[in-house]
Amino acid sequence: MLNTVQPGLGWEIMFNVQVSARIVVLAALSVHCACSIFPTSGPASSDVRGEKSDPQGLPYALVRITPEVVKILENKAPRIARVFPDRGGPGEIRLGVGDVVSVTVFEMAAGGLFIPAEAGVRPGNFVTLPNQAVDSTGNITVPYAGTVRAKGRTNVEVQKAIVDALQDRALEPQVIVALVEQRASSVSVLGDVGTPSRFPANPNGERLLDVIARAGGPKNPGYDTWVKLERQGRQATAPFAALVDEPTNNVYVRPNDTIYVFTEPRTFTAFGASGLQGHIPFAAWRITLAEAIAKVGGLNDALADPSSVFLYRGEPREVAELLGVDSSRFSGPIIPIIFNLNLRDPSGYFLASSFEMRNKDVVFTSNAVAVESTKFLTYVRLVVATVDDPILAAVNAYLLRNLTGGAAATTAIGTSPR
């Protein structure tokens, strides 16, 4: 009896199984696609623009780079002159605890309080008291005038106080107070300079570069050197080169100022669809966003979305509000801001050339939408091919078995006796 084979029916069954398997796989993929299962170097541009962050993560504000934004940031860049502007010129030298002074008292004629009558005629009727230091309470002592306040006063102010105290006792007294040894009014220069030291403040006035030069100048290249000025509990920091290139930052030094010079290479970090990713040094005291992008080899032409260049930075609350950010939803003095640069717009390159980079900025460039679509299609093709492989193997085995069975049946029919 012949073996009844129906290859058409078997092929149809296998085809239906294959189609059903593909439908199941595609349905599963469509469910999982929304979960961002595909590898990428960072957030999608749509997520950044939509300010979609983890509810447990750090909130941020998105600010588009415009000429107004560039101007605001330029006016608020870290500069010493913005914290300590020169408004009164050199500071006055005022006496302090430990300063050594001399006091000379003049009288109109002999026979007064300090010049006895038997002294006769002599060139100048004066007496110079022994040098004395301003004591721990801030006072000096003058005979017949008693205790005189010296701390916090200038020489002229102390002279007037002594004259007022002697006015009714001496003959038309006049007083000269001279600073013999200056100990309280000093300027300290510390850190990466040739000779860290403490100098007496110069009554003629000195600027930051002057006292840094007195300390031997900076040890390291200027573009990696920072200067911090501390005065009365306030601080301001700026690159050393800013003192040279922007003279307004080279402010007058005041007595008791502390200048700290330190070395910290300025760097930024690049991620995403750029030619190079990593930690990149400025190698200059000032670079723009355009120069930073060029330093990493520009944007990757096969991956990048030019309209989705993002710069991550924390800005003070005051600056954030000037940029139009609603800071009420943020806590703390620093507001996380993502600046968006659109390089599809030809004018964006002008903005990038004006936007000043800051130390530790992070630049991220998102992939183009087409890149993500390509990833999806490649993934679908891989998964479908993976599903097809065992089905095709089963179909081939089924066809081979039927072909082998059909050949055997044909042979049996051809050789059977009549």
> With bands split at pLDDT 50, 70 and 90, how would you rate the model's confidence at 57?
confident
Considering the domain boundaries, does residue 71 fall inside one?
Answer: no
* 322-366 tens-digit pLDDT: 999 998 888 889 999 999 999 999 999 999 999 999 999 999 999
Considering the domain boundaries, does residue 57 fall inside one?
Answer: yes
Residues 300 and 326 in one domain: yes
**33, 35, 36, 38: CA torsion to nearest 10:** -60
Among 181, 209, 234, where does a domain finish?
181
Considering the domain boundaries, does residue 75 fall inside one?
Answer: no
Residues 175 and 199 in one domain: no
Q: Which of the two residues, 135 and 414, has the higher pLDDT score?
A: 135
Considering the domain boundaries, does residue 70 fall inside one?
Answer: no
| DSSP codes joined into one string, 275-296 | S--EEEE--SS--BHHHHHHHT
Mean pLDDT of the residues in the chain = 83
Contacts by 377-383, CB closer than 8 A, 24 or more apart: 379/29, 379/38, 380/26, 380/29, 383/25, 383/29
Q: What is the per-residue pLDDT for 168? A: 85
> With bands split at pLDDT 50, 70 and 90, how would you rate the model's confidence at 12?
low
Residues 259 and 278 in one domain: no
What's the CATH code of the domain at 211? 3.10.560.10
Considering the domain boundaries, does residue 279 fall inside one?
Answer: yes
Q: What is the per-residue pLDDT for 82? A: 86
Residue 148, pLDDT above cutoff 90: yes
Considering the domain boundaries, does residue 376 fall inside one?
Answer: no
Token digits of residue 376: 């999806």
Among 128, 150, 181, where does a domain finish?
181
Residues 190 and 142 in one domain: no
| Beta-bridge partner residues of 274 | 299
| Angle 104-105-107 from CA coordinates, rounded to 5° | 145
Considering the domain boundaries, does residue 137 fall inside one?
Answer: yes
How many distinct structural domains can be found in the chain? Answer: 4
Helices and strands (DSSP H and E) totals, the chain: 11, 17
Among 246, 263, 280, where does a domain finish?
263
Residues 194 and 328 in one domain: no
SS3 call for 127: strand
Residues 84 and 232 in one domain: yes
> With bands split at pLDDT 50, 70 and 90, how would you rate the model's confidence at 305?
very high
Considering the domain boundaries, does residue 308 fall inside one?
Answer: yes
What's the domain range around 14?
A: 7-35+381-403
Helix axes 369-415, 7-32, angle to 10 degrees: 160
* 368-392 tens-digit pLDDT: 887 766 665 666 666 666 766 676 6
Residues 359 and 278 in one domain: yes
Residues 193 and 217 in one domain: yes
Residues 283 and 335 in one domain: yes
Residues 338 and 394 in one domain: no
Rounded Cα distance between 376 and 242, Å, is: 49
Pick the closest to residue 2 from 410, 418, 415 (CA basis): 410
Contacts by 28-35, CB closer than 8 A, 24 or more apart: 29/379, 29/380, 29/383, 33/376
What's the CATH code of the domain at 153? 3.30.1950.10
Exposure of 140 by Cβ count < 10 A (0-12 exposed, 13-18 middle, 19+ buried)?
buried
* 93-124 tens-digit pLDDT: 899 999 999 999 998 877 677 776 665 555 56
- In the chain, the largest separation of any two C-alpha atoms, in whole Å, equals 175
Q: What is the per-residue pLDDT for 183? A: 87
Q: What is the per-residue pLDDT for 45? A: 78
Residues 230 and 150 in one domain: no
Residues 195 and 301 in one domain: no
Q: Residue 380: CA atoms inside 13 Å, Cβ hemisphere, count? A: 17
Rounded percentage of the chain residues whose pLDDT exceeds 70: 76
Rounded Cα distance between 309 and 298, Å, is: 11
